[in-house]
Structure 1
């Protein structure tokens, strides 16, 4: 059967793109090796932060604001709570990071912000212990997303608009001939005028058709017993933490489930087809997370409630790849979201749809060009 567009990889980005295409009447086929939402990609282990005062310049800030609007629209369309506006507190040692440029870019685009010193942070959130070299940037309108619910909501909407989903379908090869694309799977060959490849940490399975400069990485997160009077959702925001020991992020205790914390940097390389070690396979899985909590939020460093493993798909500069295939203008690539892409998946889907249908987007995506890697 032939379609207008085939989306290979129906996770965060692909499912969003599928919805934005299908709602315009585009005949869309979504292919995924699993059954999204699932535990094999980068959207596993909710929640995910959404913040607006972003590093990387105004392009990211504009994308974050548009993404927030689209998440609100998805909530309304599905009558589902997806985004909790808890506020997000970004904290960093002066030896690690300065918020000066981020503050300037965000304020120029109207993002409400507060710049706080260590004492002001301790007074407002007494569960936090920082040394005097720390500064905080608080975003009251930021918060967190329930990632798996978000993917499920986009799935619901995409299918309602007429998109077709093929779960548990492995792509063995892709061919681009003339003006069309053929995708070979164990269930047969599917044809379309155009394709979007959004395979996440599984992009290597699409080689040699496309080889992207992406390294898949094993990441861990943990939930720790915490003082609910200090760290529940009524009293504590989402957070990021830049310290000499590493970069961390986390969330308040949701429904008594404990403070969630993860580490953004480091992680063991992983390749599709390799077994991925469960949480606790390495001492640092819990040790790094616990050490950060004991140092900066000691009353959140209680018993480990549970741990989880997910995957990042990293580029060397941690910026995304959103571009056409180097040899085929009818094939779009979306990958390398480097552990900070989920919040943007609503707007990335819109961008991919616009580039597919209109060959243009209103968003500034020049930062995400594949040509920066000389591929």
Structure 2
């Protein structure tokens, strides 16, 4: 079967790209080893934070703002609840790089960010108990994305616009000539004019087969839910949050209780290395799965929050934690996006648009020069 564009990996980024291409009338095929949305990658667990004043660097802000526009557009087109405007509270030492980046992003792009002392945070949200060595930056326009619903919405609209989807299908071989690609699965062979690779932790073996070695490292991560008082922690009175420990790389993130699920907390740094295709160890296998988040909750939450359960996911990290979005240096029709390092989902809508532009127009309307492989 022949297609204009073949996308290998139909998770958040790939499914978004498939939608944008199909909506333009392009003949597009999406292949995924599982059945999106699924629990084998980095897009499950109900929720992700979307922030605009970005602690990881102001170069991300234009993409974050574009992503927010596209999520709202998807919400309208799909008639699904995808975004909750809970606000996001970024917390840390006043002089930390994390807080300074948030403030700089807000100043450069005129974003509505309110700077708060520890006592002001504790008074506004009684569920917190921050000590005086913390400050907060509150973004009222930011909030929470419902991740599985986002992927499901893009899938529904992509297929509605004519995209072909092969789920539970493993790619066995890829051959690329100067102007086309051949993708072989267990039972079928497909040809395409262009190839987009958005395979998460499966990107490494695929790119390697095409002669491209990238410095990617996949890490097993966990997140946990806690029983909580709905009067204090429900989503219309309590924000999503990110907390950077003073004088440390420790960074935690969390969510209010949504639909009675309880407060959700995860640790962004640390984790256990995993290989491509390796089955993840169950939640609770390692002591730190529960210990780290329990310690965080007891230290920064004013009420006792009993742990309910947890889940695992995978970060596929680049060495500098910045994204990788580029073309194959020798095969101009092969495009890839990977290394999203645990902070990529919020950008999936914008990355999907970028990949569609690279495939069709040859260039992106967003500046993606910081995400080139030339930096390695």
Q: Quote the offset at 1:291 in angstroms.
A: 0.3
- Match 2:269 to one of 246, 262, 265: 265
CA distance 1:289–1:73, change in 2 (3 Å): same
Match of 1:363 among 363, 366, 370: 366
Instruction: State the secondary structure of the residue aligned to 2:209.
Output: coil
CA contact (8 A) 1:203 1:212 kept: no
Deviation at 1:107, TM superposition (A): 3.0
* 2: CA distance, partners of 1:277 / 1:96: 34
The within-5 A match list for 1:1-375 is: 1-94=1-94, 96-97=96-97, 99-206=99-206, 207-209=208-210, 210-244=212-246, 246-299=250-303, 301-373=304-376
> 8 Å contact 2:242–2:251 — kept in the other structure?
yes
> What SS class does the counterpart of residue 329 from structure 1 fall into?
coil
The 3-state SS of whatever aligns with 1:353 is helix
How far the C-alpha of 1:204 sits from its partner, in A, is 2.7
User: Aligned to 2:137, what secondary structure does the other structure show?
Assistant: strand
Q: CA deviation at 1:271?
A: 0.9
Q: Aligned partners of 1:222, 1:105: CA distance in 2, in Å?
A: 30
The alignment partner of 2:351 has SS state of helix
8 Å CA contact 1:204, 1:272 repeated in 2: yes
Cα distance in 1 between the residues matched to 2:181 and 2:109 = 40
Q: How far apart in 2 are the matches of 1:234 and 1:145?
A: 15
Aligned Cα root-mean-square deviation (Å):
1.3
**Is the CA contact 2:297–2:305 (under 8 Å) kept in the aligned structure 1?**
no
CA distance in 2 between counterparts of 1:192 and 1:204 reads 21
**CA–CA distance in structure 2, aligned partners of residues 33 and 154 of structure 1:** 17
Q: Does 279-288 or 103-112 show the bigger shift? A: 103-112
Q: TM-score, normalised by structure 1?
A: 0.96
Q: Distance in 2 between matches of 1:113 and 1:255?
A: 27
Q: CA–CA distance in 2 between the matches of 1:96 and 1:230? A: 29
Task: State the distance in 1 between where 2:26 and 2:324 align.
Answer: 24
Mean CA deviation greater in 97-106 or 61-70:
97-106
Which stretches of structure 1, 4 residues or more, deviate above 4 A after TM superposition?
A: none
Secondary structure at the counterpart of residue 328 of structure 1: coil
Task: Please state whether the residue corresponding to 1:86 is helix, strand or coil.
Answer: coil
Comparing 53-62 with 248-257, greater Cα deviation is found at: 53-62
Gaps of 5+ in 2: none
1:9-36 superposed Cα distances (whole Å, 9 cap, x missing partner): 0000000000001111110000000010
Whole-angstrom distance in 1 between the partners of 2:275 and 2:160: 34
Give the gaps of 5 or more residues in structure 1: none
Q: What is the rounded CA distance, in whole Å, between the counterparts of 2:21 and 2:79 in structure 1?
A: 21
Question: For 1:186-236, what per-residue CA distance to the aligned partner results, in whole angstroms no more than 9, with x for missing partners?
Answer: 122210000000000121331332332111110000001122221111210
Q: C-alpha offsets along residues 155-210 of structure 1, whole Å, 9 cap, x if unaligned?
A: 00100110000001111221111310111211222100000000001213313323
Shift of residue 95 of structure 1? 6.6
* Alpha-carbon separation, structure 1, partners of 2:190 and 2:272: 35
Mapped contact 1:59–1:365 kept (Cα < 8 A): no
Worse overlay, 339-348 or 301-310: 301-310
* Farther off after superposition, 111-120 or 338-347: 111-120
Normalising by structure 2, report the TM-score.
0.96
Instruction: Figure out how many residues of one structure are paired with residues of the other and give that number.
Output: 372
For residues 111 and 312 of structure 1, the distance between their equivalents in structure 2, rounded to whole angstroms, comes to 28
